[in-house]
A and B are shown apart, each in its own frame.
Chain A
Amino acid sequence: MTVADILLLALGAVAVGAGALVVSSTHLVRSGLYLVVSLGAIAGLYLVLGAELVAWVQVLVYVGAVVVLLLFAVMLTRAPIGPSTDLDRPPGPSALIGAGVGLGLAALFVDAFRWIEFPRADPGTAEQVGREVFGTWVLPFEVLSILLLSALVGAIVLSRPDLGARPAPPAAEEGSGEQEAEVPA
């Protein structure tokens, strides 16, 4: 076993352990913080595998933005300190399904890739990832960016009911005018 193998195993254990805590913890906000640990460990896995750029993108996007957004949303709604005992979560069946799917997938992967030896890939430097993304994979990349753009536009439309609204009957219009006046300038 090389150092890389040991690091992979350790980081994998951290990622899986923290991931299990995310779903099993009864502390709502702590679940989110465990998610930070889990995603950070996955970034560590990328680093060990030589994909430096992907690792830092993982930290930038997932740890720095997605999880923070999640925590932010939880704290805006309901974030009690201490365990929440009223969570609607039957432990038996979900544990069975989760463990079953996890073990099944693991067995499948081990069986599928046990006999194949892959050549060691080149380190994923920024230059190489850039060349691949903007050379071979430029079409999927652009399609994905259009998808994201439409999601953005959709978010704006959903959050602004005054956009494209049908002219309301006179009685309701009065109500909406009042609502607008309530919005602080």
Chain B
Amino acid sequence: MPLWLDLLVRVVAVMVGFLVLPLLVGQAEHKVMAHMQGRVGPMYAGAFHGWAQLVADGVKFVQKEDVHPHGADRTVFRLAPIVALFPYLIIILTIPLGPNGLVAQRLDIGLFLVLAILGIGVVAVLMSAWASANKYSLLGGLRGAAQLLGYELPLVLAAASVAMAAGTLSLPGIVEVWRPWWLIWQAPAALVFFIAGLAEIRRPPFDMPIADSELVFGYMTEYTGLRFAFFLLAEYVGIIVIAGLTTVLFLGGWHGPFADQLGWLWTLLKMGVLSFVIIWFRVTYPRLREDQLQRLCWLILVPVSLAQLVLTVAVKSLL
């Protein structure tokens, strides 16, 4: 295959994934939440079980007027949704789907890139919070920044544990050396990573920065139309990214029966199950209070991930 065709196929594949997977997750969220709460959810749009609801929502968002509050810092206000969404696009480039190089961009230190890029999300939260010129937004943004800064530590430590176990920072490389017994060996790190990842994408029960019952809608309060849709899209892509990273780092990515032919299907299946769990969490748990949130991070997740590092080194040096 010539280089340009190869490049084109990869870019198109990532764009399709970027456009389709969040919609699937969004639709799943509508339906799963509805069934868990004993209601039907959106049923009208598209005739069959409301499959076109998100498309209709998208059309509605596009039609809305682009409003910004009086006294807002317009440039920063407009830039923030893009800064929120863009990092996830880059992360999706690096998530391997299957064996034999079925990844948009193979990088030697993909794990490091992913962690670094995830950290940029905080800037978007602070930008949108401050530029809105709204006290609820600012409060939400400050909560968000404190949460994201805190939870980045266990996230990075848990990822470091699996990188040490695998002896590589490359995401496909980690999946290649992954063995099923790592499920037990790396179980604490997997839990810590998943929980901290949930907090990083500010999903319930970690949605203190948004907290609609006290802060209106946190740092997204003043956003309407397409810019608000960008934030929503960023949330759904965030679910994909966290599910994908947990799959790749801790659940063995494409490993499974017939991995050579069906590896991509296994990856997508595991990501789907994890996305379902993320939605399930939202329906199940009440929102954590700010002090509970920080307590969970610093008193439970950080010590557990440090202990996991010691365990990883001990087992690794015994082998």
Q: Residues on A close to B: CB < 8 A?
A: 27, 29-30, 33, 36, 52-53, 56-57, 59-60, 63-65, 67-69, 71-72, 75-76, 79, 81-82, 125-126
A76: chain B residues at CB < 8 Å are 142
B116: chain A residues at CB < 8 Å are 56-57, 59-60, 63-64
A53: chain B residues at CB < 8 Å are 109, 112
Q: A69 and B127: CB pair below 8 A?
A: no
A59: chain B residues at CB < 8 Å are 116-117, 119-120
A and B contact pairs by CB, cutoff 8 A, 11 listed:
A29-B76, A33-B123, A60-B112, A68-B123, A69-B149, A71-B145, A75-B126, A76-B142, A81-B130, A126-B108, A126-B112
B112: chain A residues at CB < 8 Å are 53, 56-57, 60, 126
Q: A65 and B119: CB pair below 8 A?
A: yes
A72: chain B residues at CB < 8 Å are 126, 142, 145-146, 149
Q: A27 and B73: CB pair below 8 A?
A: yes
B146: chain A residues at CB < 8 Å are 72
Q: A60 and B109: CB pair below 8 A?
A: no
Known: A29-B130, A72-B126. A52 touches B119 (CB 8 A): no
In the complex, B204 has a CB within 8 A of chain A: no
A65 vs B153: C-alpha distance when bound (angstroms): 11
Tell me the number of A-to-B contacts counted with CB atoms below 8 Å. 84
Kindly report which residue of chain B lies nearest to residue A79, judged by CB atoms.
B130
Counting chain A CB atoms within 10 Å of each CB, the highest count among B115, B116, B120, B131 belongs to B116
B126: chain A residues at CB < 8 Å are 68, 71-72, 75
Q: B131 and A81: CB pair below 8 A?
A: yes
A27 vs B138: C-alpha distance when bound (angstroms): 17
Q: B142 and A64: CB pair below 8 A?
A: no
Known: A72-B126, A75-B138, A82-B73. A125 touches B149 (CB 8 A): no
8 Å CB contacts to A: which residues of B132-167?
Answer: 133, 138, 141-142, 145-146, 148-149, 152, 156
Known: A60-B119, A68-B126. A30 touches B73 (CB 8 A): yes
Kindly report which residue of chain A lies nearest to residue B138, judged by CB atoms.
A75
Least Cβ–Cβ distance between B149 and chain A, in angstroms: 6
A75 vs B143: C-alpha distance when bound (angstroms): 12
Q: B130 and A52: CB pair below 8 A?
A: no
Q: A75 and B123: CB pair below 8 A?
A: no
A69 vs B169: C-alpha distance when bound (angstroms): 27
B115: chain A residues at CB < 8 Å are 56, 60
Q: B149 and A63: CB pair below 8 A?
A: no
Q: Please name the 3 residue pairs, one residue from A and one from B, whose CB atoms are nearest each other, closest first.
A: A64-B119, A60-B116, A59-B116
Known: A63-B123, A64-B122, A81-B131. A75 touches B141 (CB 8 A): yes
Known: A59-B119, A64-B120, A75-B141. A81 touches B73 (CB 8 A): yes
Chain B window 86-107, contacts with chain A (Cβ cutoff 8 Å), 1 for yes, 0 for no? 0000000000000000000001
In the complex, B226 has a CB within 8 A of chain A: no
A65 vs B186: C-alpha distance when bound (angstroms): 27
Q: A125 and B76: CB pair below 8 A?
A: no
- Given A56-B112, A64-B116, 11 extra CB contacts under 8 A: A29-B73, A36-B123, A59-B117, A60-B112, A60-B156, A64-B120, A71-B123, A71-B145, A72-B126, A81-B71, A125-B108
A33: chain B residues at CB < 8 Å are 76, 123, 127
A61 vs B104: C-alpha distance when bound (angstroms): 26
A79: chain B residues at CB < 8 Å are 130
B133: chain A residues at CB < 8 Å are 81
A76 vs B116: C-alpha distance when bound (angstroms): 25
Kindly report which residue of chain B lies nearest to residue A76, judged by CB atoms.
B142
B152: chain A residues at CB < 8 Å are 64-65
B117: chain A residues at CB < 8 Å are 59
In the complex, B72 has a CB within 8 A of chain A: yes
In the complex, B113 has a CB within 8 A of chain A: yes
A79 vs B118: C-alpha distance when bound (angstroms): 25
Kindly report which residue of chain A lies nearest to residue B125, judged by CB atoms.
A68
Known: A59-B116, A72-B146. A126 touches B109 (CB 8 A): yes
Least Cβ–Cβ distance between B176 and chain A, in angstroms: 16
B131: chain A residues at CB < 8 Å are 81
Kindly report which residue of chain A lies nearest to residue B142, judged by CB atoms.
A75
Q: B122 and A68: CB pair below 8 A?
A: yes
Least Cβ–Cβ distance between A59 and chain B, in angstroms: 4
B119: chain A residues at CB < 8 Å are 59-60, 63-65, 68
A72 vs B139: C-alpha distance when bound (angstroms): 11
Kindly report which residue of chain A lies nearest to residue B127, judged by CB atoms.
A33
